[in-house]
Structure 1
Amino acid sequence: MTGNWMVIAATGVLCGMGIFWGSRHLPGERWQFFASVPLRKRDDDSWEAVNITWYGVLLSGAAVFAVALYLIMLCGAGVHASAGVSLMVLLLAVCVPASSAVARIVERKPATLTIGGAAFVGSLVAPFAILALNRFGEAATGMHIPMSQGLAACAVAFLFGEGMGRMSCLSYGCCYGKPVEAYHGLIGRIFSKTAVIFQGRTKKISYASELEGRRVVPIQSLTMLVSSLAGIATLSLYAWGHFTAAYLGATASAGLWRIASEFFRNDYRGEGKVSAYQVMSGVSVLYAAVVACFLPEARFFGPVDLAGGVAALWDPGLFLFLAAVWLVLVTFTGISDTTFSRIRFHLHRSKI
């Protein structure tokens, strides 16, 4: 179907633009802080302010992008948008707090978040959330989400969110790679040509590892590329009705890449050579394989209509929902606890 190819191509172009622009600009010092909001005036006429980071703005934007794709996929498969929204609200209600709770447990730090931990919790909860929604929601409102389509849409959408979400890591200087000089031979030559350099003393790579201005492995950009390519492949599987394959492919791609990529990372992710997040990723892949064995026959056969899903998304209520998701996530992830600022205001007297 031409409509499916157009949606897939447009998604790929958007991801490519994000990878190209983000990798070139976001490691710079300019792209850590989005805004500062004055809170309290000091005796010297300056103001204490809270910082809103590009990390939160970009991560929330990536999440909205993923949720929009998720709704497009479900609506394209004939699922009512209200059912898709209900499932997403349930998952966000679990995963957003889990992003902080899991990081606190693993890394023992009060002001940190983990997308990997949130994804792990979400992957475990998703089948039961769909069952609960179908059990109680269908009886009350007639809403129903076929298990295969629902899990596949969640998994594929997460790949895109994971990929584009790494733009936020580039801006904040977190989830960073090891110094390039740690590698030799062919891998060392490849990394030396693709290395990323972070600037800004308030970025995590600076205060946690003192690697500001050093050439490091571009693990965020690699994750953006791998996740986007895997997302395009599994979105194509979904578009042509291969829901279980899309679910397994997306879950395996995200999990196996996290296991592999963490060996190239230099940030702290807990004790041990194998991190808790790598273990979680391996468990999530095995869990998906087990779940796939019990998936019921899909009620919908043949290609889905992704273009129809885009048309269904063109609704004021869904726009408000996506805006609300963005606002909630910015509030949760964008207000910086690790930095502060002081602001002074002045007049341009020549313009009065």
Structure 2
Amino acid sequence: MGTIFFVVGLGLLIGLVLIWGFKTLPKEKWQMVAAFPLEKLEQGQWRGMNLTWYGLLSANAYTFGVIMVVVLAASAGIPIAVLVLLTVLLLAVTIPASKIIARIVEKKKATLTIGGAVFAGVVTAPWIIMLVNVTLGTAFNFHVPVAVMMACLSIGYTFGESLGRLACLSFGCCYGKPLSQCTGHTRKVFKHFNVVFTGDTKKVAYASELAGEELIPIQIITAVIYAISGLVGTLLFLQGFAGTALVETLMVTQIWRVVSEFFRADFRGQRKFSMYQIMALAAIAYTIVLLAFFPDPEVVVSLNKGFKALWHPGMILFFQGVWIVSFLHSGRSTVTASKISFHVVKENI
């Protein structure tokens, strides 16, 4: 019964956050969260660095995903210190990969790709886990089941990706096709369920000149599908079906990534069937083959162990560190700039 309450409560929390984001974030004022002066220009102005809601919301999503990984993995009895090590190693791969792969596929410097980061994570995670097992695991007498840890990572990613779509709504990226370019049936379906972005500095405006247009709300649909998939995966995992949870979350997220790109209008490379779609299908095939070599072990799950791991002082500092690194990585805008001026309010002297 405690498992059901946990999953339902998690669903309500995520649902409230998503509803707020859907209604709020496409508006112009929700792109920049702050700006600070870097150097003084002429006429009393300063060149500013813009900090974005994209970065803040991405950091929230990253951190929430990591928290879910820790809760689930600790519930399955994986030591906290090992969890921290594995998380740091995987973030060290996926965070740089989000820029490197986007630069290779899209030929642009100032862009990120979650799809590319996920592919890099799926490919490298099993080997990182095995490396830790044969080195530190042998030395300190522990073993991390590959399928169990991969299930935790997949569920954490699914939740993080769901909440990460809020960052896309704020920045105006990963946007759907305009209804004016859709067929009659598609236009009819999304006539009363669409998204309109405002603001000249959003990507949808400067990259495709689609600000003010009714667009297919692909970010919203993705967020909802992934949230549901994450909840289902969590329930399966807590009932002891780690391998099933891994396959369910990976299949849903990657198949939807393939399908959703046919409804997107942002640049995804020169191919009609993009490299990101190929990566998504490759990730599914890779994981299925992986499970043949690392079958789903029986695992006893205790949520109490997972909750206890959250309140360890070291873990709280670790989560704060993940948030800060994520925000610094994605929150400093390189495609927008600002000019800041300061003055004295004489009436208040």
Q: Aligned ranges for residues 79-158 of structure 1 at < 5 Å?
A: 79-158=78-157
Q: Which amino acid aligns with 1:203?
A: K
Displacement after TM superposition at 1:331 (Å): 0.8
Cα distance in 1 for partners of 2:9, 2:189 equals 29
Report the equivalent of 2:189.
190
3-state SS, counterpart of residue 192 of structure 1: coil
Q: Which amino acid aligns with 1:306?
A: L
Cα distance in 2 for partners of 1:183, 1:307 equals 50
3-state SS, counterpart of residue 4 of structure 2: helix
Q: Which amino acid aligns with 1:271?
A: Q
Cα distance in 2 for partners of 1:307, 1:226 equals 28
Cα distance change, pair 191–246 in 1 and its aligned pair in 2 (3 A): same
Structure 1 position 340 matched with structure 2 position 337: yes
Cα distance in 2 for partners of 1:163, 1:279 equals 21
Structure 1 position 280 matched with structure 2 position 276: no
Cα distance in 2 for partners of 1:168, 1:93 equals 21
Q: Which amino acid aligns with 1:61?
A: N
* Counterpart contact for 2:243–2:296, Cα < 8 Å: no
Displacement after TM superposition at 1:13 (Å): 1.3
Q: Aligned ranges for residues 55-94 of structure 1 at < 5 Å?
A: 55-94=54-93
Q: Which structure 1 segments of 5+ residues have no match?
A: none
3-state SS, counterpart of residue 216 of structure 1: coil
Structure 1 position 321 matched with structure 2 position 286: no
Structure 1 position 253 matched with structure 2 position 245: no
Q: Which structure 2 segments of 5+ residues have no match?
A: none
Give per-residue Cα distances to partners, 1:104-130, cap 9 Å, x unaligned. 000000110000000000000111011
Cα distance in 1 for partners of 2:28, 2:304 equals 39
Deviates more, 1:220-229 or 1:140-149: 140-149
Give per-residue Cα distances to partners, 1:23-67, cap 9 Å, x unaligned. 100000010001101000112111101101110110010010000
The size of the alignment, in residue pairs, is 349
Displacement after TM superposition at 1:254 (Å): 1.0
* Counterpart contact for 2:50–2:337, Cα < 8 Å: yes
Cα distance in 1 for partners of 2:142, 2:323 equals 25
Q: Which amino acid aligns with 2:165?
A: R
Cα distance in 2 for partners of 1:177, 1:125 equals 31
Aligned-pair RMSD on alpha carbons? 1.2
* Counterpart contact for 2:38–2:49, Cα < 8 Å: yes
Displacement after TM superposition at 1:293 (Å): 1.1
Report the equivalent of 1:206.
205
* Counterpart contact for 1:59–1:168, Cα < 8 Å: yes
Report the equivalent of 2:346.
349
Deviates more, 1:55-64 or 1:183-192: 183-192
* Counterpart contact for 2:148–2:296, Cα < 8 Å: no
Give per-residue Cα distances to partners, 1:77-117, cap 9 Å, x unaligned. 11111111111111000111100000000000011000000
Displacement after TM superposition at 1:184 (Å): 3.5
Report the equivalent of 1:36.
35
Q: Which amino acid aligns with 1:332?
A: H
Cα distance in 2 for partners of 1:297, 1:185 equals 46
3-state SS, counterpart of residue 159 of structure 2: helix
Displacement after TM superposition at 1:143 (Å): 4.3
Q: Which amino acid aligns with 2:14?
A: C
Q: Aligned ranges for residues 15-54 of structure 1 at < 5 Å?
A: 15-54=14-53
Give per-residue Cα distances to partners, 1:249-302, cap 9 Å, x unaligned. 11111110000000000000101210100000000011111111111452524x
Identical aligned residues as a percent: 40
Cα distance in 2 for partners of 1:245, 1:296 equals 11
Displacement after TM superposition at 1:177 (Å): 0.3
Cα distance in 2 for partners of 1:306, 1:184 equals 48
Cα distance in 1 for partners of 2:81, 2:298 equals 18
Spell out structure 1 runs of 4+ moving beyond 6 A. none
* Counterpart contact for 2:94–2:118, Cα < 8 Å: yes
* Counterpart contact for 2:49–2:337, Cα < 8 Å: yes
Q: Aligned ranges for residues 170-319 of structure 1 at < 5 Å?
A: 170-296=169-295, 298=297, 300-301=299-300, 304-319=301-316
* Counterpart contact for 1:82–1:143, Cα < 8 Å: no
* Counterpart contact for 2:25–2:170, Cα < 8 Å: yes
3-state SS, counterpart of residue 221 of structure 1: helix
Cα distance in 2 for partners of 1:347, 1:21 equals 36
Cα distance change, pair 273–297 in 1 and its aligned pair in 2 (3 A): closer
With the length of structure 2 as denominator, give the TM-score of the two structures.
0.97
With the length of structure 1 as denominator, give the TM-score of the two structures.
0.97
Cα distance in 2 for partners of 1:219, 1:14 equals 21
